[in-house]
Structure 1
Amino acid sequence: SQYTSSEMRPFLDRHSLTCSYSKKGYPWDNAITESFFKYLKKEELDRKVFKTIQEVTLSSFEYIEGFYNPKRPHPANNMLTPNQKERNYFESL
């Protein structure tokens, strides 16, 4: 229902985005996102106290762009960072 709200539907249409709905009781569709949020909360957000949503936004951005993508190796990427994996992919084209 959140994807059909009066705010969400126009946003999706404006950006040519398509919602992906999996079948009920199939949690694996969301596993990658859940895994990322687990580390975001554990390594960044749970260790701080925020007073404004802007502080949360900035902290999340700094974690993703300053640590998670450029410095944090991932077992699923053969221990490469996301930035290294992406760079290797585009160099191979």
Structure 2
Amino acid sequence: MRRDHACPAGQVHRLTLDSKILQRNLLGDPAKRVIDVYIPHGSDGRGLPLLVDLVGFTGGGPSHTNWKNFCENLPERLGRLLASGALPPVG
């Protein structure tokens, strides 16, 4: 749930990547990874700069886009920063 409804919400698309590079890796990590792609409000996603959110060891990428009860998640923060002008437009 967004905290600031005056701030337009972007879209999060959840994709699955099956990496051949990660198959049979030494740590035994799964080769299939869930990747969330955030598209800002009013954009179709083409020609946008890429922001890569790397999650630390033992973390999970979707944890940065899931709902958080006491703080903003990454899409909410990006939307707020774009709407306030603190982050330059990307579309």
TM category, shorter: under 0.3
In the superposition, the TM-score normalised over structure 2's length comes to: 0.28
Greater share of helix residues, 1 or 2?
A: 1
Greater share of strand residues, 1 or 2?
A: 2
Larger radius of gyration: 1
| Structure of higher RCO (CA pairs closer than 8 Å, 6+ residues apart) | 2
In the superposition, the TM-score normalised over structure 1's length comes to: 0.28
